[in-house]
Amino acid sequence: MKIQPPIWKKVTSSLPLLLLGGGLAISGNYLINSSESFANVIKQDNNTVATIAEVPSSVAAKEQNLSSEIAVPQNYVSEVVKQVGDSVVRIDASRKVTTNVPVMFNDPFFRQFFGSQIPNIPNQQIQRGLGSGFVVSSDGLILTNAHVVAGSDQVKVTLKDGRTYEGEVMGTDSLTDVAVIKIEAEELPAVTFADSEQLQPGEWAIAIGNPLGLDNTVTTGIVSATGRTSAQVGIADKRVSFIQTDAAINPGNSGGPLLNAKGEVIGINTAIIQNAQGLGFAIPVNAARDIAEELIAKGKVDHPYLGIQMTAITPEIKQQLKSQKNLDIESESGILIVNVVPNSPANKAGLKSGDLLQKINDQEITQADHVQQAVAKTNVGDELSLGLLRNKKQLELKVKVGILPRPQKVSP
């Protein structure tokens, strides 16, 4: 099923209230529950000032009754939680793993002497994982992280109201860490999507999930940065430009939504840098949605692929190449091709180790992630024009984009 585009909704803005007196200041979502909360003074026609205590009791009583009838104002976070909270789910995944028991532990002679001291280790154990997810269609499609459900034998999905369902993993994509789960349910509250391409640092960010097993936890912050590369985040095996946020994200938040102030999903919470404080990362929802639609349609994702290993040119790299490989690079910019994968599209097109990649489709390339982004925007079978510098000579080669090979499963 194709995921529907976002529906923009209007939310109530925060109405801060400041009370001064007795050294106490309170701001934010404060409950107005007495006549003293409205105003301490009332201006008269002759510019004199009277306190609430001087107002006739009948007027004061009417104001007090009026205040009790006024709806309690909520800040924007409360409105977002009310709007989206029911769409966020808890995911419990489990799988059986084989335990490597030392051979000596099963040796009868060994057990005869040390039987009481040998731990009783079963041949198989159940590994359990906890994560979050969110409903993207009313008929039970759920988005989460691939690492939350990868390799699972059983997936259990729990809604906020306590209902529990067996989940079917429709597909996972480890390269972008996106997965789709299906549960047999109807009329579920689905989220709406923002355009993550329009995100700007400084915008509000709200994370909802189940960190450390604490269900339906809400944290807030801002979008700290956009376009963080997988290398910068420290997970170089991913092909994602991450959203960085200072909204608190902990183990168990993985797969939950990162929302804007309108309650629209801007990303999927995914990565935590160990020992970092106030740093979390999310997969932009535009990329996640494209991956999800392909997973729903085919159960897999075909990623475009060239087959090169590369590095940006720096003074340090130039010095290393000159001293270790007697390779003198004169250019100050470009991407050095360190290795070409055998039988890859790049290899078939004639690229070689030591080539300096300077342009893709006439666009200058100065950073390695620019190459990744350019390739990611193509379709398998498309042709790219590469501008190269080889042995101080300019070359232009055409490369037909291939499919990224899938990792080979290792037999136990």
Distance CA 407, CA 326 (A): 35
Angle, CA of 301, 211 and 285, to the nearest 5°:
35
Distance CA 334, CA 359 (A): 8
* Active-site residue, selected from the candidate residues 35, 87, 254, 344: 254
Distance CA 61, CA 73 (A): 22
* Active-site residue, selected from the candidate residues 35, 87, 132, 147: 147
Residue 177 known to be catalytic:
yes
- Of 363, 316, 307, whose CA–CA distance to 337 is shortest? 307
Residue 254 known to be catalytic:
yes
Q: DSSP secondary structure string, 171-182?
A: EEETTTTEEEEE
3-state SS assignment for residue 244: strand
DSSP at 64: H
Beta-strand ranges (E) seen in 78-213 are 88-98, 124-137, 141-144, 154-158, 164-166, 168-173, 178-182, 204-209
Residue 370 known to be catalytic:
no
| 290: phi then psi, degrees, rounded to nearest 5 | -60, -45
Residue 278 to residues 116, 220, 265, 273, Cα–Cα distance (Å): 48, 11, 20, 10
How many angstroms from the chain centroid is the CA of residue 79?
22
* Active-site residue, selected from the candidate residues 177, 224, 230, 369: 177
Q: Which residue bears the tokens 């992280």? A: 145
Q: Which residues contact 70 (CB under 8 A, 6 or more apart)?
A: 32
Token pair for 251: 């183990």
Do residues 244 and 226 touch, judged by C-beta distance below 8 A? yes
Distance CA 21, CA 174 (A): 56
Do residues 283 and 240 touch, judged by C-beta distance below 8 A? yes
| 389: phi then psi, degrees, rounded to nearest 5 | -120, 115
- Point out the residues that are catalytic: 147, 177, 254
